[in-house]
Amino acid sequence: MTSQPSGIPPRQRPRSLSGMQPTSDSLHIGNYVGALVNWVELQDSYDAFYFIADLHALTVPTDPEVLRRRTRVTAAQFIAGGVDPERSAVFCQSHLPQHAELGWVMNCLTAMGEAERMTQFKDKVAKGQSANVGLFTYPMLMAADILGYDADRVPVGEDQRQHLEITRDLAQRFNQRYGETLVVPEAHILKETAKIMELSDPGSKMSGTNSPDAGVVLLSDDPKRIVKKIKSAVTDAEREIRYDPEHKPGVSNLLVIESALTGVPVDSLEQGYAGRGYGDLKTQVADAVVSAVEPFQRRMRELLDDPAELDRILAAGAAKAGPISAATLARVKDRLGLLPPG
Ligand code: AQP
């Protein structure tokens, strides 16, 4: 467990925490193998907190009905992917006002230049996303999400590494200025699956909001559509199937997806493909994805057929998570010198 500041109540087990935005109609295979699979694994040894980042989703203008639907879909997909709401708190970020309140404290702790260095913000603006102040301060709200739960480990994909680093810097800064108050978290990023690339452009990260339809496998895609997308994946002009992300990014991406879904290490897959062609690789990867996605989709449909039960799960998750972030916020406010209410 991460060393615990003296002001923090003792805990039986370390904590893991992460979130995903409900910004598209479904999570994609990159969210799944890059993050969700690790969330599920950490449940065994950590007290786990997994939330739908609906406040972060407001950085992209979305129709209210669509946001409501996507929020329930995201919750259903967490559970269909193996998050167990009996063991892990599954909740909506917006249900607990302490996220936004602690986010303000993080804003006030962050230097402008520090925020301006965040590459995700710069990339999104460069790609033409209209920037609002919420998008600019996204990493500070994310820091609040994590620090509010005294999280030890944060399972995320590679794209979140810089945000994790600023979170650590902010926790250390707060502790230096005001005394040991916040746990400094560690990122949990598994090397190979940390960045799943677009099928149609293996030079770009697979993204729910930025990738073209042909480049992204959604967990809700019909199996026939999945097969079609994988068969059309960009590879290269050679014939050899080997893991070499620099020279063969398309082939390497397919190998990583297959390995993550089947549990067979990439080097064993390479050996199995010796002397075979890209057609075989694509068929096998498509089979692996379809086999993983079919039971996932059945479970997702069951959950979405009972929105009241989903809402009950989210309420129970908030009831479990809320007192923890409320206690951290109270500790932070006290250290800052904010008077308690009368
Ligand atoms: N391609 C990816 N490979 C591995 N992990 C990934 N993650 C996202 N894309 C990949 C991880 O999934 C978690 C949720 O991230 P998110 O909610 O930011 O999802 P997203 O697909 O990145 O969503 P957007 O709306 O499409 O955002 P942008 O525009 O940033 O891509 C995180 O742990 C993330 O690392």
Sheet containing 15-20: order of strands: 89-92, 47-52, 15-20, 153-155, 186-188
Q: What is the pLDDT of residue 194?
A: 86
Q: Say how far apart CA 153 and CA 1 lie, in whole Å.
A: 9
> What's residue 6's pLDDT?
67
Mapped onto helix, strand or coil, the DSSP state of residue 208 is coil
Q: Using CA atoms, how far apart are residues 77 and 218, in angstroms rounded to an integer?
A: 11
Of 148, 207, 160, nearest to 188 by C-alpha is 160
Q: How far is the CA of 331 from the centre of ligand 1 (A)?
A: 31
Residue among 16, 20, 21, 31 whose CB has most ligand 1 atoms within 8 A, to mutate: 31
CA–CA distance, 155 with 157 (Å, rounded to integer): 7
- For a mutational test of ligand 1's pocket, the pick from 16, 21, 77, i.e. the residue with the most ligand atoms closer than 8 A to its C-beta, is 21
* Protein residue with its CA nearest to atom 28 in ligand 1: 207
Q: Is 245 exposed, middle or buried (0-12, 13-18, 19+ CB in 10 A)?
A: middle
CA-nearest residue for atom 14, ligand 1, is 20
Q: How far is the CA of 342 from the centre of ligand 1 (A)?
A: 43
The beta strands (E) that lie in 135-176 are given as: 153-155
Indicate the pTM of the whole model.
0.94
340 Cα–ligand 1 center, Å = 38
**Residue 269 and residue 239: Cα distance in Å, rounded?**
15
CA distance linking residue 22 with residue 116, whole number of Å: 25
Measured between alpha carbons, how far is 212 from 200 in angstroms, rounded to an integer? 8
Q: What is the distance between the alpha carbons of residues 137 and 20, in angstroms, rounded to a whole number?
A: 17
Nearest CA to ligand 1 atom 33: 156
Rounded Cα gap, residues 202 and 196, in angstroms: 8
Ligand 1 mean position, distance from CA 135 (Å): 15
CA distance 20 to 22: 7
Which residues line the pocket of ligand 1, CB cutoff 6 A? 20-21, 23, 30-31, 34-35, 156-157, 159-160, 194-196, 205-210
**Is there a contact between 79 and 56 (Cβ–Cβ < 8 Å)?**
no
Give distance in angstroms: CA of 91 to centre of ligand 1: 18
The 3-state DSSP class for residue 117 equals coil
Q: Which of 75, 149, 137 has the alpha carbon at shortest distance from 308?
A: 75
CB 179 within 8 A of CB 152: no
Q: How far is the CA of 31 from the centre of ligand 1 (A)?
A: 6
Per-residue pLDDT tens digits for 29-57: 999 999 999 999 999 999 999 999 999 99
Which residue, by CA, sits nearest to atom 15 of ligand 1? 20
Structure confidence at residue 109 (pLDDT): 98
Ranges under pLDDT 70 in the chain: 1-7
